Amino acid sequence: MTGEVLTVEAALVYARHYNPAIGAARSRVQAAQKVPVQASAYEDPMVTWEAWNSPGNFHIDEAGNNIFRLSQKIPFPGKLRLKGEMASKDAEKTEAELKVEELDTVAQVKKAYYALWLVYRNLEVYRRDQGLVTQFARIAEQKYAVGQVSQPDVLRAQVELTRMINRVTTETLALGKAQARLNALFSRPPEAPLGAPQDPPAPAVPYSMTELEKLTLGIRPELLAQTRALDKERLALALARKAYYPDFEVSINRFVN
């Protein structure tokens, strides 16, 4: 990131690795992917022990009866499967949201990158113009010294030089802001050094507007996320209907006198 040249490809790779929004979305995906197994699993079995007719001083080994019990709750068939499928749909929705975050970050990085490129180009032009105006102002002063031009000509040259100096100063401040915006997307300090951006390639759009619209509707991750959310709600409705059916519990007891 600190070389002489910063390519847009390198900027995108860095952002995908270090952008905090993408990192948070990726963590949500990792957490959501672990839920289906947990949601579709049986509850932990229960082990209980009871002591009957124990003495008043509570000597357990002197109890009249000891009851040991091992029990396991078993939901009505289909409930655990629906819970697991709901969690799977939620995980798929989270994965689609990660893709949305990646696309949004890519768009922001490209926008910030080419904004930085524009500032670089503006500075290049303004500094070149400042050099030319400086030469013109010096020539005007020399001609004024020998009486070849009037004082207003010298003043106009000085005013133009001042204007160019102000432009360079303003654009230099804009350069710092543009670098800070890009560094924020990289989760780096605002003043962290960046290489100079490359000139953008010539635009090439091999698709028509109609083809682009169809392509967008087919792969848009927001639509996939909404579809998975609807699938989850359908499964939730099926699970709610299953709630009318009773669950079961199997237990094994042993009496020890």
Residue 105's CATH number: 1.20.1600.10
Looking at the structure of the chain, the number of domains it has is 1
Does residue 29 lie within any of the structural domains? yes
Inform me whether the pLDDT recorded for 63 exceeds 70.
no
Does residue 231 lie within any of the structural domains? no
Of 40, 116, 118, the closest CA to residue 85 belongs to 40
Torsion sign over Cα 108, 109, 114, 119: positive
- Expressed as residue numbers, the domain containing 136 is 5-35+79-223
248 has which bridge partners?
Answer: 74
Does residue 200 lie within any of the structural domains? yes
Of 91, 98, 101, 81, the closest CA to residue 39 belongs to 81
pLDDT of the residue at 15: 94
Rounded CA-CA distance 169/167 in Å is: 5
Of 206, 219, 226, the closest CA to residue 103 belongs to 219
pLDDT of the residue at 101: 93
Mean pLDDT over all residues of the chain? 85
More confident residue, 102 or 202: 102
Which residue is associated with the tokens 């689609």? Answer: 96
Does residue 202 lie within any of the structural domains? yes
Of 4, 79, 1, 68, the closest CA to residue 41 belongs to 79
Does residue 62 lie within any of the structural domains? no
* Whether the Cβ atoms of residue 50 and residue 220 lie closer than 8 Å to each other: no
Cα 182–chain centre separation: 15
Does residue 55 lie within any of the structural domains? no
Of 142, 32, 147, the closest CA to residue 91 belongs to 32
Does residue 244 lie within any of the structural domains? no
Mean pLDDT over residues 144-172, rounded? 86
Residue 199 banded pLDDT, cuts 50, 70, 90: confident
Does residue 241 lie within any of the structural domains? no
